[in-house]
């Protein structure tokens, strides 16, 4: 089997361990896929006053690119001002309440689409699943009562995609296209779905993403994430910096999202000390942004800062009640030697996953599989991994499937999934964590060939 080579430096010095390893049960939130913010009508960020775009200069990436930009990237609030997070969230909550009153008085109003957009936007910030559920209900009501409304279709497609209901999302996009909704408005979401499904030939930017000019802030972030999928963290960082230079909005959230994308790229590559700085910058812009907070907690745990990570996880759990983070805290407590506490948290997380999977099986199947891998329930993890593979075949789902099969000691199936992941041509940082498994796959392949000859 061909060995994988990559420019990614998984060890950034000191005693730092990579955040995700096979021995640590390949914990999954490090590799959260990109989320492209679609500027639909009513979206809070789209209503912020715009600044003139500054000229963009992209420095040549170096081996320590993100580290070398200390002081300018991430930008301080004095260098790149945004609305105060407290004002931003208060305004968002007020708009939700106002629109909710309107649709309560007139349930058939097209304002259901606006309510759906606002609720889903708040879900992306705060992480309360109830907001996503309410958003989907409102968007569906808008589509049912206004089936030819292009905006309603687009809004629901965005939410369906986020809930991993990809076929339904594509159906809504097709209906929006038939209603003559501008193709350029549909393209970013369709591209995101193609990436999630593993249909990489449908994403032209994947062919040498460094050769494509960024059309704006979100496109620059997309190109950065595509570079990361190819294993080029320095080129990804250069694109993320370009996105900061292109940023011409006063919304604190989208800038926090950018810094979180950069932090995740570094975290996935094992560089927690620098990733930590970007997560902190994201939280400085938007303290309630749960994705940044959770990944910062993961970095703190990786660097042995268990007390700080514990406090942060407890705060995130109180805010979201997400079983994924309860499970992460259970791992921390087990690592700290608090077995009884860890067992109680694991049981609580399992109960939460059972409830969440009953409500939204496709949306959380991959995350739940990672939890059951970490908790040692290989049978349940494998079943969830197979279910996830029925819905999508992207490289990270294939690696998850390989991991679940390795845990279940199904070497042949694990090696097959690993080879399929390699055959995609993608080289995300996580693929390097399977290097120690390559030898066992090589041995298995040789044994199979020998048996076939005999």
Question: Which tens digit of pLDDT belongs to each residue from 141-187?
Answer: 999 999 999 999 999 999 999 999 999 999 999 999 887 666 678 88
pLDDT reported for residue 449: 43
Answer yes or no: is pLDDT of 421 > 90: yes
User: For 220-234, what is the mean pLDDT?
Assistant: 96
Question: Please, what is the average pLDDT of the chain?
Answer: 86
Task: Among 206-220, 224-238, 380-394, name the one with the lowest average pLDDT.
Answer: 206-220
pLDDT category, 446, cuts 50, 70, 90?
A: low
pTM of the predicted model as reported, rounded to 2 decimal places: 0.86
Could you report the per-residue pLDDT of 69-127, keeping only the tens digit for each?
556 999 999 999 999 999 999 999 999 999 999 999 999 999 999 999 999 999 999 99
Could you report the per-residue pLDDT of 263-280, keeping only the tens digit for each?
999 999 999 999 999 999
pLDDT reported for residue 444: 63
pLDDT reported for residue 11: 33
Query: Which one is predicted more confidently, 64 or 125?
Result: 125
CA distance 116 to 320: 19
pLDDT reported for residue 70: 55
CB atoms within 10 A of CB 63: 10
Q: Is the peptide bond before 74 cis (omega within 30 degrees of 0)?
A: yes
Answer yes or no: is pLDDT of 199 > 70: yes
For the range 412-417, what are the long-range contacts, defined as Cβ-Cβ under 8 Å and sequence gap of 24 or more? Answer: 412/444, 412/448, 414/441, 415/440, 415/441, 415/444, 415/445
User: For 311-318, what is the mean pLDDT?
Assistant: 98
CA distance 84 to 449: 63
The domain segmentation of the chain, as residue ranges, is: 393-454
CA distance 44 to 9: 38
Answer yes or no: is pLDDT of 13 > 80: no
pLDDT reported for residue 394: 98
pLDDT category, 42, cuts 50, 70, 90?
A: very low
* Among 25-39, 59-73, 252-266, the range of highest mean pLDDT: 252-266
User: For 336-349, what is the mean pLDDT?
Assistant: 98
Q: Which residues pair with 50 in a beta bridge?
A: 249
């Amino acid at each position: 089997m061909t060995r994988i080579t990559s420019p990614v430096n998984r060890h950034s010095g000191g005693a730092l361990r990579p955040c995700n390893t096979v021995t640590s049960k390949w914990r999954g939130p490090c590799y959260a896929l990109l989320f492209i913010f679609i500027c639909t009508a009513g979206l809070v960020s789209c209503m912020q006053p715009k600044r003139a775009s500054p000229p963009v200069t992209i420095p040549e990436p170096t081996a320590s690119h993100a580290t070398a930009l200390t002081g300018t990237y991430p930008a301080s609030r004095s260098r790149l001002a945004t609305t105060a997070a407290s004002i931003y969230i208060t305004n968002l909550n007020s708009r939700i309440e106002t629109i909710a009153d309107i649709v309560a008085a007139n349930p058939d109003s097209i304002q259901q689409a606006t309510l759906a957009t606002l609720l889903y936007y708040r879900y992306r910030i705060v992480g309360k699943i109830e907001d996503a559920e309410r958003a989907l209900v409102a968007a569906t009501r808008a589509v049912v009562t206004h089936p030819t409304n292009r905006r309603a279709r687009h809004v629901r497609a965005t939410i369906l995609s986020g809930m991993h209901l990809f076929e339904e999302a594509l159906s809504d996009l097709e209906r929006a296209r038939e209603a003559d909704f501008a193709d350029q408005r549909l393209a970013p979401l369709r591209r995101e779905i193609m990436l999630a499904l593993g249909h990489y030939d449908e994403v032209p930017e994947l062919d040498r993403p460094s050769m494509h000019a960024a059309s704006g802030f979100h496109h620059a972030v997309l190109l950065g994430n595509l570079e990361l999928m190819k294993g080029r963290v320095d080129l990804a960082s250069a694109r993320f910096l370009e996105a900061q230079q292109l940023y011409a909005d006063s919304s604190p959230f989208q800038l926090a999202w950018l810094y979180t994308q950069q932090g995740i790229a570094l975290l996935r590559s094992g560089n927690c000390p620098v990733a930590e700085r970007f997560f902190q910058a994201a939280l400085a812009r938007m303290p309630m942004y749960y994705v940044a907070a959770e990944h910062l907690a993961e970095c703190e745990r990786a660097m042995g800062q268990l007390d700080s990570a514990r406090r942060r996880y407890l705060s995130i759990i109180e805010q979201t009640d997400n079983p994924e983070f309860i499970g992460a805290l259970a791992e921390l407590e087990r690592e700290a030697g608090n077995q009884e506490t860890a067992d109680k948290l694991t049981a609580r997380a399992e109960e939460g996953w059972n409830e969440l999977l009953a409500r939204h099986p496709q949306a959380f199947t991959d995350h739940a599989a990672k939890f059951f891998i970490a908790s040692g329930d290989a049978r349940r993890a494998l079943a969830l991994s197979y279910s996830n593979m029925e819905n999508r075949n992207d490289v990270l789902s294939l690696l998850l499937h390989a991991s679940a099969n390795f845990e279940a000691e199904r070497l042949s199936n694990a090696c097959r999934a690993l080879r399929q992941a390699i055959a995609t041509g993608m080289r995300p940082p996580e693929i390097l964590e399977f290097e120690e498994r390559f030898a066992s796959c090589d041995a298995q392949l040789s044994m199979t060939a020998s048996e076939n000859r005999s």
